[in-house]
């Protein structure tokens, strides 16, 4: 088959530092990326990737939702997109549902959790 149709509701959820992810295309050998629909929990962990690039698309979020990008807090709203290159420490703050495009394919060994510090 030369194409895939993904039903995220049929994919098994996997616990991740952000909450619960449903990851698509990981099983396609020549796919250049993976796509994750992730339910962000309120206690998402600050992390970064050494070689992966992520693009977050906000499907829905609480009115006070934010994203920490290194030392900056950015307010979020539905429909926003955030490009996160390797090395940028990040975490979502508040409950939300996001699509995350990961290039190259997601590798759990490239997800480095860092100790959180309070932001001013």
Residues 73-82: contacts with CB under 8 Å, at least 24 apart: 73/119, 81/55, 81/56, 81/57, 82/55, 82/56, 82/58
Phi/psi at 108 (5° precision): -60, -25
pTM of the complete model: 0.92
Q: Tell me the domain boundaries of the chain.
A: 14-106
Q: 40-88 pLDDT, tens per residue?
A: 988 789 999 999 999 999 999 999 999 999 999 999 999 999 999 999 9
Q: Is the pLDDT of residue 120 over 80?
A: no
Q: Does domain 14-106 have CATH number 2.160.10.10?
A: no
Q: 4-54 pLDDT, tens per residue?
A: 999 999 999 999 989 999 999 999 999 999 999 999 988 789 999 999 999
């Amino acid at each position: 088959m030369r194409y895939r149709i993904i039903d995220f509701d049929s994919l098994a959820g996997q616990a991740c530092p952000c909450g619960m992810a449903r990851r698509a295309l990981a099983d396609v050998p020549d796919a250049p990326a993976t796509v994750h629909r992730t339910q962000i929990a309120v206690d998402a962990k600050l992390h970064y990737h050494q070689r992966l690039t992520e693009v977050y698309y906000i499907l829905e979020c609480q009115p006070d939702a934010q994203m920490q990008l290194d030392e900056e807090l950015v307010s979020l709203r539905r429909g926003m997109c955030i490009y996160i290159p390797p090395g940028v420490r990040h975490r979502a703050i508040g409950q939300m549902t996001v699509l995350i495009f990961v290039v190259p394919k997601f590798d759990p060994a490239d997800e480095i959790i860092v100790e959180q510090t309070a932001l001013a």
